[in-house]
Amino acid sequence: MATKKSKPLFDFDSIILGTGPGGEGAAMNLAKSGQRVAVIERYDAVGGGCTHWGTIPSKALRHSVSRFIEYKENPLFQLEDQAGRMTFAHILKHAAGVIRKQVRLRSSFYERNEVKLYQGDASFVDANTIKIVPNKGNPFQITAANIIIATGSRPYRPSDVDFSHPRIYDSDTILSLEHEPKHVIIFGAGVIGCEYASIFRGLGVRVDLVNTRDRLLSFMDTEISDALSYHFWNSGITIRHGEEFSHIEGRDDGIVLHLQSGKKMKADCILYANGRTGNTDTLNLDAIGLAVDSRGQIKVNSRYQTSIENIYAVGDIIGHPSLASAAYDQGRIAGAAIINNGQCDKHLIDDLPVGIYTIPEMSSVGKTEQELTAARIPYEVGRAQFKHLARAQIANTNVGSLKILFHRETLEILGVHCFGERAAEIVHIGQAIMMQKNGGNTLEYFIHTTFNYPTMAEAYRVAALNGFNRLF
């Protein structure tokens, strides 16, 4: 006589809230390990803010503008009947096409791995139960042994700024910009603000960039961020450092930004891009006693476990480093911890690469000169200027440079910093060597390796020889 199978204690082994990079990384790892997995997505399509409002659309916009600039500046195309100017509406069409392709791809991941997808708003009933209010139909509940919060973040909106005004945007709503502004103010000169400053200026729009700090992107190597400041200034972007806003006055034909310093600035519209806040306010975290900070972020341990044993959190919802690339790995690590009953020896790599998609691009991995100087580590610098590389001359991408920081005595590579077209790709060559063990991470590799010619990768050999020649 066959024995009757007992009903599982929970509907699923794990439930994941959100389908951005963090949620996807967790879902794929858990599903491939044999778990019964469900994901809940608030919106009609998977991908989260990364795919729909953040990383993918802004980088697609940037690519279109960058190619347009190259076209205009390339002497091959300096013809009398040169094409007219490109508008923001034009490049939004390209971005929309990329988003559709990404959604189709990411949806197929969930289907292939038999992950159950629910669409609707999720909130906690208790530590094992999630209430779902679907986009259509009646609310219902599902249960799981473990829950991962990967709900991401959204632009921070101060209560005294009227974002319902048709001329006041954040980094999400700017993607619905329909008119063609001639003058834009961007308040906030972080990564998002700098990227959009590049995009609008590349389209020929006058840009005022208001920075609350004393320099751009202060977490980057000073030389690299100074290079960006110079190129912004040279392109016609006006940068105002050390400013805070008093209030934003919305008018029918534009806005007036009143600064605490007493200055006033007028433009067709404003993009407020000063910070982000975690999407935790609708999750009913009080029901499980889980606290968040003033920006809606959750504290976790090294395994991304919250103060509640069976609940994990990954991605923007936990704050730094707030990178799509890191969020995916965090999701995988949280999944591994669940599979191993809360134990996991995996962790993010120590030297996370950073890519900033301004025009020109910036990217870095490892230590900056300022960090090495503060730590009193004897280092030397090797540099290569893109304008001296045959590949850059062929492609007419002469702006930029590569900088290698290495230990004077051991020749160990300590940091790689790149400024210029394809910087976010080029930096990974240096990262790969930095990750080598047993003496494999030294400047010698670049000196003695043969590179394809002509390539941008050749910059590593040039920079290595430049640095080696500085030693005495």
Annotated binding residues for FAD: 41-50, 59, 151-153, 316
Nearest to 117 by CA among 127, 96, 101, 103: 103
Query: 3-class SS at 246?
Result: strand
Q: How far apart are CA 229 and CA 239, in angstroms?
A: 8
Specify binding-site residues for NAD(+): 188-195, 275
Q: How far apart are CA 411 and CA 223, in angstroms?
A: 21
Here the tokens at position 400 are 């930029």
Q: How many residues does the chain have?
A: 472
Residue 308 φ/ψ region, left for φ over 0, alpha for ψ in the -120 to 50 degree band, beta for the rest: beta
Here the tokens at position 119 are 């669409």
C-alpha Rg value of the chain to the nearest Å: 24
* Strand runs labelled E in 158-260: 168-169, 183-187, 206-210, 238-240, 245-251, 254-259
How many Cβ atoms are within 10 Å of 211's Cβ, its own excluded? 23
Query: What letter would DSSP give residue 173?
Result: G
Query: 3-class SS at 306?
Result: coil
206 φ, ψ (degrees, to nearest 5): -70, 130
Specify binding-site residues: 41-50, 59, 151-153, 188-195, 275, 316
